[in-house]
A and B are shown apart, each in its own frame.
Chain A
């Protein structure tokens, strides 16, 4: 299977699995059956795709799940927790199978049997609704039991089989009408079986008595020919036909009804579909054609199909007529020219024309009209006394033209993220050249140059903004997995939790979005585990039984905020403080504000849960959250009110790639300190030595200072200089530098693996003059 299809399969299946997952949560919450249909559709599509790709395990699991969903949909089965669980387990299995496929391109040999059994088991717990097609079901069963080999076939064809005939008989006794429907597919139909299955979804599956080829062949997934189906229905053929009418790429070839004859034999009616006789059967048309041929003109029969999106159908058709030499070349059209003029037509038009041109010229002329697809082109010829039509000369591949042009209208393309990074690099390089040009302009007075540089500057900024926006993705891509996780976790904990998400459209740089999943999950678990109380406890304090957790995201300035807020019992200050004392994180004499105490939760190895649970109480978690967020140049904070709830607030830069910084000079070299970590700058004066380390008094605090020169191995020390105060939480350190060069917005570049190990640098950047500067990681100075 080609790589291209594989990645398409993986992407699409993921989307459907996500829809499935969302639907499940929705369904369980609301008991809403529309969600079932959504899941059913998702399962169904996955089944079709998996079968087509030859992934049997996936196909089998989805098939079973689909059966179960179908029962739910038809109210034969109630939505109960075991049912939901079974479907979720199936979903998990499918995700694992998909992961395997993504990794190895092959379907792995996972044991799907338990899942299959679970799905079957919960389904068998169903209660039949004793109405409608259930009777057919019973009939199927009864007939199967009583069938005897002496029965002889009465109706020819596929219905020779006694079993089907017996079932049909039984159903007719129950006042059902039996239809035999022959279905074909358009040549460009990619997944005919999916189309067929789409139809099966519309009719009641139990009313389907028989298919040819049989279901085993159909389930195998690569059948492409016509399908004959026999169904039992109470409606007349038009209603049955309608179920098929708007399924695209499906052609209803015939509908026949079986009827009882005297003496209990059955006959098939003739095709009930209105048959359009071929236009050229018309005596008058034939005569006109003969006339034209006699005058040694060439006569062509042309069928065209307008694109679905075509807005001005008649105009397009008249363009076709113009292209073949004008309306007087027409011998016959269907529909009539007047009807075409009034747009009274479907997408297809058939016409017979005369011409002096050869076939290729005519074909080219018609194909040059956009939104028109030439589907049929035959030449008429005279053989002796007889005029006859030639074969259709339009190949299938040419027919697909209109469909592919339609697809091209899709407004998105997939781009390798590496290419985006490359583009980003090129654009930042352009920005550097732009700065250089701007400098040259001041040296070379030339009005033309000046204007060009101005224009280029604008373009380059726009380009940069555009690239940044392309790299942005909505947080939804990570948020959408949390409803499921919250559902599972709260069930495990025996808590009732309503979970809401706000602002999932908020956008963040792709690289940041990829990293924030885990920290958010930790915070959510923390709220579920430690925040939300059990039902009885909540009832006792007069809160609603269901706890509430909200995950929200919003943008403010150059930052995106992500908050996890619960209405649980909040943080117990004394408990945290006591625990911190035990762990030696604080001393009893320390006087801390509530807020300071809460921050202790982020200290490594801290856990206040009385019983260590399976979830977040392992003492890892919040400290991991903190370090992860900080590695993304973000900050995390916690606010709490005892009895009311807790709120985690994460602040992230909208993009990692561009940052604001203060350029400083140490010795010969420029360094950039990110603005985010700077509290204040000042002139160095009045240092003192306490316990062997240098400090200054800053805003009535004793603040240690670190000389960048000594850290960066500059041989000489400088008595004069500036102090850049950097902070993390309440810790402040002064970094002594030689010069302050000003504020710059720069593009962050990561360092080589070998240089990443140096703690003092977060990366590097290229300055306007093309020189490279290191970006300082202030955290390293604070620790």
Chain B
């Protein structure tokens, strides 16, 4: 299976490649008053008004300023902010070490060389 890996803080995360529609550079975001906490706002992505969600807040991490590396992963008409988008890797599903099924976001851990990659449940995004 092919996965897209990305970074939040110093941790590596991944999503199946076919769930990610596109990876975009940071764009101006219009905040929406009274929106749920993890929704940063809305933006114009090539003529489509898209909701932007900070993946940091979903993973209960502190909000940070955006850097030139900050990227948006577009999944099911929502853009998710990540610190940096990395590679597309081919992995063997058997190497995904399944985690506690009840975890809302984490599906499992993949060992890739000396690195650990957290696989995100794309269905729950």
Interface residues, chain A, CB within 8 Å of chain B?
Answer: 425-426, 428-429, 432, 669, 711-713, 749-752, 754-755, 758, 760-761, 764-766, 770-774
Contacts and interface: CB of A to CB of B under 8 A. Distances in A.
A433 to B, nearest CB: 9
Given A752-B78, A764-B49, A772 B42 contact: yes
A755 B42 contact: yes
Given A761-B32, A771-B28, A774-B30, 15 more contacts: A426-B47, A711-B33, A711-B34, A712-B34, A751-B51, A752-B78, A755-B32, A755-B35, A755-B39, A755-B42, A760-B33, A760-B34, A765-B49, A772-B42, A773-B30
A749 B31 CA distance: 16
B47 A758 contact: no
A774 to B, nearest CB: 6
B28 A774 contact: no
A749 B32 CA distance: 14
A749 B49 contact: yes
B44 A758 contact: no
A766 B33 contact: no
A772 to B, nearest CB: 4
Contact of B33 (A712, A751, A772): A712
A751 B49 CA distance: 7
B72 interface: no
Contacts of A771: 28, 30, 44
Interface residues of B, number: 20
B63 interface: no
Nearest to B34: A758
Contacts of A773: 30
A82 B51 CA distance: 58
Interface of B: 28, 30-36, 39, 42-44, 46-51, 77-78
A770 B33 contact: no
Contacts of A765: 49
Interface of chain A: mostly helix, strand, loop or mixed = mixed
A774 B46 contact: no
- Count chain A CB atoms within 10 A of each CB in B32, B47, B50 and give the residue with the most: B47
B37 to A, nearest CB: 11
A619 B34 CA distance: 34
Contacts, number: 63
A772 B51 CA distance: 11
Nearest to A773: B30
A711 B33 CA distance: 8
A725 to B, nearest CB: 21
A772 B43 contact: yes
Contacts of B30: 669, 764, 771-774
B42 A713 contact: no
A764 B42 contact: yes
Contact of A432 (B28, B35, B47): B47
B77 A752 contact: yes
A540 to B, nearest CB: 59
Nearest to A763: B49
A755 B44 contact: no
A137 B42 CA distance: 77
Contacts of B51: 751-752, 754-755
Contact of B36 (A754, A766, A770): A754
A425 to B, nearest CB: 5
A774 B48 contact: no
B33 A713 contact: yes
Nearest to A431: B47
21 contacts: A425-B47, A426-B47, A432-B44, A669-B30, A711-B34, A713-B34, A749-B49, A752-B50, A752-B77, A754-B36, A754-B39, A755-B32, A755-B35, A755-B51, A760-B34, A761-B32, A764-B49, A770-B44, A771-B28, A771-B44, A774-B32
A770 B43 CA distance: 9
A429 B32 CA distance: 22
A753 to B, nearest CB: 9
B31 A669 contact: yes
Contacts of A426: 47
B32 A766 contact: no
Contacts of A772: 30, 42-44, 49
B49 A758 contact: no
B35 A758 contact: yes
Contacts of A760: 33-34
